[in-house]
Structure 1
Amino acid sequence: MAGEPKPVCACKGIRSCLLCEGPGKTGSRDTAQQPLRFIYEPRSGRAVRAEGGQRHSFELPGVLLLEEFVSEEEEERLVSTMDRDPWMDSQSGRRKQDFGPKVNFKKQRVRLGGFSGLPPSSRELVQRMEGRPGLGGFLPVEQCNLDYCPRRGSAIDPHLDDAWLWGERLVTLNLLSDTVLTLSRGGAEAGGGEAGGELWVSVPLPRRSLLVLGGEARHRWKHAVLRQHITARRVCCTFRELSDKFLPGGPQGALGSELLDIALSFQGVPV
């Protein structure tokens, strides 16, 4: 109806969601040619493609999936605690809560801003992570909670996380619904596709699972969550550790120690 306010979102540039899309503007990915699609098998550590009765696969190092990392009761308690804090609109139909320092990645500058640490509800999660294979010594300095909803067309575009400030492992706890993480890379570069093509690997993320990306999966494969893989409300918590530059002995070691002291006080509120 005329005079009704237009739905507000936080999309910018090429980003869009169902609240702002109009003719000619969609949230789908366009590719010059159809990608080769594989599915990641956690038990074998390989990306597998079945085609014409043949099975093709390649090793995909750097992906670790820990199922049932939290119980149903813990999941309910964690999300209930998050929902007591305000959610801020983010791009591509997401909402977010940030617990971390203020960062200008382009200028490579970090400042404390209002950073007061990770939330109290994460203390036990972090302690549990440190006791799992592949997560020894994991000390997160930042936590980002994201809320996905199919009604908003929530998604996140393919991207590589920064490697100047953030360290080797990216850790995500998936809550409330199953989804899929899509890894993508040029086929020739990955050794599994035609020149100029692209490989997509679907990594199933069960509800209450913990995903760790490191090594090649973290630095050489872009990761995304496609709109079609959000079928119900999904909340995730992504934890990031510091790069070597911000650890003791590194050029920013003093700042890194200060950031970690604040983060691991577990007294944080969203910034």
Structure 2
Amino acid sequence: MAAPSIAMDRNHQSNGKLGKTEKKFLRKQNKARHTLLRHEGIETVSYATQILVVANGGLGNGVSRNQLLPELEKLGQVDALLMPPNKPYSFVTYKTIEESKKAYVTLNGQKIVDDLGQKIILYLNFVEKAQWKELGLQALPPGLKVVEEIISSEDEKLLLESVNWTEDTDNPNFQKSLKHRRVKHFGYEFHYENNNVHKDKPLPGGLPDICDSMLEKWLKEGFIRHKPDQLTVNQYEPGHGIPAHIDTHSAFEDEIISLSLGSEIVMDFKHPDGVTVPVMLPRRSLLVMTGESRYLWTHGITPRKFDTVQASKGHKSGIITGDVGDLTLSKRGIRTSFTFRKVRQTPCDCSYPLVCDSQMKEPPPSFPESDKEALQLEQKYVHQVYEEIAGHFSSTRHTPWPHIVEFLKALPSGSLVADVGCGNGKYLGINKELYMVGCDRSQNLVDICRERQFQAFVCDALAVPVRSGSCDACISIAVIHHFATAERRMAALQELARLLRPGGKALIYVWAMEQEYKKEKSKYLRENRTSQGRQEINSDPSAEEQFVEPVPDTGHQDSACSVPSINDFQKGRSNSKEVANCKLPIHTNRTSFHSQDLLVPWHLKGNASKEKPTEPFGPAGTHDPSPVFHRYYHVFCEGELEAACQTLNNVSILQSYYDQGNWCVILQKV
């Protein structure tokens, strides 16, 4: 598709030739056009229309409506500015074609400062129509309500001043050390190691006096049904959040309420079937969770510095709609939440037994809260596992993925490229014109790289012994999802950014929670097939080929943990064995994910050092028992990887896309 000839008007040369700057601009504009077509299905045209697509000028890369619209309005009457959520582009419709031509000539290649103070370059192209993925009609989860302006600004000030964050170890309510937020407990201490409270050990002093009259008023006015006896105060800095979770059923009664102070925030609610509803919690609002929203839906706050919100204030309370003509960015401030609960004294008898710890035979899943716990989990369920399965794992990793090959082939000759988490090195020899070096936490996988004459060494992805700013590019393929906390995943992203020189690029792949995307099943789900009693079970959304192994019909999973997965309950499988002391759910391979943090089984076949699997059946069809290993994963929800990347201070997102069960991002060092 030819670039519009109008591009020449803004870069006219007296000798009729294009200079270096103009050639570079046209090259980047052309790349933006092809990226929009390839990843978003947006087709540009080579003639002028009233509608322009603005690449790099979108909510997904930190440009708000308040920044972009004034620049566009300087050049003509804007009929509509459509900004799809989490996308790095937007659409502008002008009153006349002449006005859109003027914007095309004037703004193409111009810099704009985003909400983080970083300069980004806009690339404009004409389109026949504005198109994007429509969001379904959003409704609050059942049992959830948001009450705005529940207290006055004066009461807000008094509440914030009542919290003394100065650490006092003599005070039983003193601040707890959590890396992603500051926390204080009143009434009862909440223990994050088991997500519960000691019901027979109340804290002295009860709830702060300042809260008593406020709670009584809410009771009288019917906003709440029970008077709480436990309070957790959390303080969040911009860019911080809290992982998705359900408050333990057996610990607290049905009603959980949370008062938001200091700054508004968007909280994400997610149903087990994958439906996600972003809910705006305005400053001085009260969130009330009862019934299904309290017991079945997870809730969490994505760590980022901006939220996508409604530009107008007339929308229904709490709802973030899909109206792309009314979305913008809201910069987060310091938010303090007062979350009130009533400690439960009897077992929970809710209507959701599949996820209720009181009604399950086993305790609920637990997740690492501290960095030390996360490292221990990774050592046991990531590092040790890959050392054991390295040979067999390598035998399933030999066909490079096309988009990764495309990224490597597009890099300039002589580029220095680091493959962080290189595995068996299948990408190290893709482009012979590059200087590629790989690193991996597994000694056995690095040994395989060296046998293949690749340059590779052993290191941790959080501390790569390479000088800062020395790499032209980095790739991180199916690595970051193995880190067990949001902070460690952020640290891995920051390490990639540290390695890059200014202008350098990084390609990142992580497993996707959504294995059915845009009504199309990923290869991971499509290959859920059985043949003659054999079923594929060593499964990866990021793998290019899998082997087949028999699964004996034992009536329960061959591997297990303290808590069966939701899949097991649905299939009547409740007889699970223990995987050490871990309480994470075990994933049923080749099925949709029902939890973001889980263990994925790997059945080691035959001799792990062999390049091809051995026959797993013994004489007379008897099953040759092979060891089962479990790898820890945090599977990413749509937009989660982009949101994490947006919190980095020195990078911009060039592209983000979905590729066969993986969320993918290309970053550039600013």
- The TM-score by the shorter chain falls in which range? 0.5 to 0.7
- 1:55-204 → structure 2 map (5 Å cutoff): 56-57=137-138, 60-83=141-164, 86=167, 88-102=175-189, 105=194, 109-112=198-201, 114-136=203-225, 138-150=226-238, 153-187=239-273, 198-204=274-280
Superposed CA deviations along residues 51-83 of structure 1, whole A, max 9, x for unmatched, are: 767853556311111110110111111101113
Q: For residue 101 of structure 1, report the CA deviation from its aligned partner.
A: 2.4
Counterpart Cα distance in 2 of 1:236 and 1:107: 19
- How far residue 102 of structure 1 moved from its aligned partner, in angstroms, is 4.4
Are the structure 2 counterparts of residues 52 and 175 from structure 1 closer, same or farther at C-alpha, using a change threshold of 3 Å?
A: same
Q: In 1, Cα distance between the equivalents of 2:163 and 2:344?
A: 27
**In structure 2, what is the Cα distance between the partners aligned to 1:57 and 1:84?**
38
1:196-239 deviation line (CA, Å, top 9, x unaligned) = xx221111000000010010000110000111247110001000
Q: Percent identity?
A: 25
Tell me which structure has the larger Cα radius of gyration: 2
- The partner residue of 2:336 within 235, 243, 253 is 235
Aligned amino acid, residue 241 of structure 2: A
State which drifts further: 96-105 or 141-150: 96-105
SS for the counterpart of 1:243 is coil
The answer as to whether partners of 2:181 and 2:240 remain within 8 angstroms in 1 is yes
Distance 1:78 1:134, change over 3 A: closer
C-alpha displacement of 1:113:
5.2
**Paired amino acid for 2:294:** R
Map Cα deviations across residues 220-263 of structure 1 (whole Å, 9 max, x no partner).
1000011124711000100001336189xxxxxxxxxxxxxxxx
Contact kept in structure 2, 1:97 and 1:146, CA below 8 Å: yes
User: Which deviates the most, 221-230 or 82-91?
Assistant: 82-91
Aligned residue for 2:288, secondary structure, equals strand
Q: 1:156 to 1:128 in 2, by over 3 A?
A: same
Q: Does 1:214 align with 2:290?
A: yes
* Superposed CA offset, 1:129-153 (max 9, x none): 20233513x1101001111112xx4
Alpha-carbon contact 1:174-1:209 (below 8 Å) kept: yes
Unaligned runs of 5+ in 1: 1-36, 38-50, 188-197, 248-271
2:260 aligned partner, one-letter code: N
1:19 is aligned to none
Instruction: Kindly tell me the number of residue pairs found equivalent between the two proteins.
Output: 186
Give the Cα separation in 2 of the matches to 1:243 and 1:156: 23
2 CA distance for matches of 1:108 and 1:173? Answer: 21
Partners in 1 of 2:340 and 2:196 — Cα distance?
22
Which digits, 9 at most, give the CA deviation of each residue in 1:79-104, with x for residues without a partner? 01113664624435100110022466
3-state SS in 2 of match to 1:74: helix
**Secondary structure of the corresponding residue to residue 123 of structure 1:** helix
Indicate how the Cα distance of structure 1 residues 219 and 92 shifts in structure 2: closer, same or farther if over 3 A, else same.
farther
After superposition, the Cα gap between the structure-2 partners of 1:117 and 1:200, relative to the gap in structure 1 and judged at 3 Å, is: same
Task: Please give the alpha-carbon distance, in whole angstroms, between the structure 2 residues aligned to 1:120 and 1:142.
Answer: 13
Task: Determine the C-alpha separation between the residues in 2 that align with 1:163 and 1:54.
Answer: 31
Q: Distance in 2 between matches of 1:112 and 1:204?
A: 35
TM-score, with normalisation over the residues of structure 2?
0.26
TM-score by length of 1: 0.60
- Pair 1:144–1:108, CA change in 2 (3 A): closer
Q: 2-side partners of 1:127 and 1:106: how far apart?
A: 28
CA 1:131–1:56: 2 relative to 1, 3 Å? same
- Whether the aligned pair in 1 keeps the contact of 2:196 and 2:248 (CA below 8 Å) is no
Query: SS in structure 1 opposite 2:247?
Result: coil
- For 1:226 and 1:134, how far apart are their aligned partners in 2? 27
Instruction: String of CA shifts for 1:135-193, please: whole Å, max 9, x gaps.
Output: 13x1101001111112xx42100001011120001100000111011101233xxxxxx
What is the DSSP-based 3-state SS (H/G/I as helix, E as strand, rest coil) of the residue aligned with 2:253?
strand
Write the letter of the residue equivalent to 2:159: L
State the structure with bigger RCO (CA 8 A, min sep 6), 1 or 2: 1
Alpha carbons of 1:245 and 1:179: their partners in 2 closer, same or farther (altered >3 Å)?
Answer: same
Task: Give distance in 2, aligned partners of 1:107 and 1:203.
Answer: 26
Residues 82, 246 of structure 1: CA spacing in aligned structure 2 closer, same or farther, 3 A cutoff? farther
| 1:14-33 mapped onto 2 (5 Å cutoff) | none
Q: 1:142 to 1:114 in 2, by over 3 A?
A: closer
What are the ranges of 5 or more consecutive residues in structure 2 without an aligned counterpart? 1-84, 86-131, 168-173, 308-330, 349-670
RMSD between aligned alpha carbons?
Answer: 2.9
Conserved 8 A contact 2:231-2:339: yes
Tell me if the contact between 1:95 and 1:148 (Cα under 8 Å) persists in the aligned partners: yes
Distance 1:142 1:158 in 2: 21
In 2, are the aligned partners of 1:101 and 1:114 still within 8 Å (CA)? yes
Distance 1:90 1:156, change over 3 A: farther
Which secondary structure state, in structure 1, belongs to the residue aligned with residue 142 of structure 2? coil
